[in-house]
Amino acid sequence: MSQLPITRVLIVGGGIGGLATAIALGKLGIKTEIAEVKQDWQVYGVGIFQPPNALRALNELNVAKRCLEEGYSFEGMAYCDAEGNRFAEPESPKIAGYPGLNVISRKNSMIFFLKRHCLTTRQCEWGQQLNLSTI
């Protein structure tokens, strides 16, 4: 059975997953179109922890360096009770030279880097709202 070459992909949702997929497919020469329901692509204004395996994956998309520059890195976390007594210190091993954790704003940095990378490398075209019931 012959395989049809994939040349165009429609991505539903322009969150971290959709934007990262667009960049990754673009690197393979596959044209993508993102259909994002939100008009203004707002992201809630909280931070996101980036463990080293995530940074390693983001490096493949050429955005890990900017995330590290804009974020705050540290070697690990400790969970404390209300009195400040430590009760858990989960391991945060380094992977591929990346720190145990990096934390970065979703709104101003993470999504921004991915969107800008998509735009500057012309790896996607912005789509319109997609109603899943029409698929």
Residues that bind ligand FAD (CB under 6 A): 12-18, 35-38, 48-49, 54, 129-130, 132
Shortest Cβ 106–ligand FAD spacing (Å) = 7
CB closest to ligand FAD, residue no: 15
Q: Between residues 14 and 99, which has the closer beta carbon with respect to ligand FAD? A: 14
CB 10 within 8 A of CB 32: yes
List 79's β-bridge partners, or say none. 88
Q: Kindly report the CA angle at 119 between 115 and 123, in degrees rounded to 5? A: 100
- Residue 17 or residue 29: which is nearer to ligand FAD going by CB? 17
How far is the C-alpha of 34 from the C-alpha of 65, rounded, in Å?
25
CB of 18 to ligand FAD, least distance (A): 5
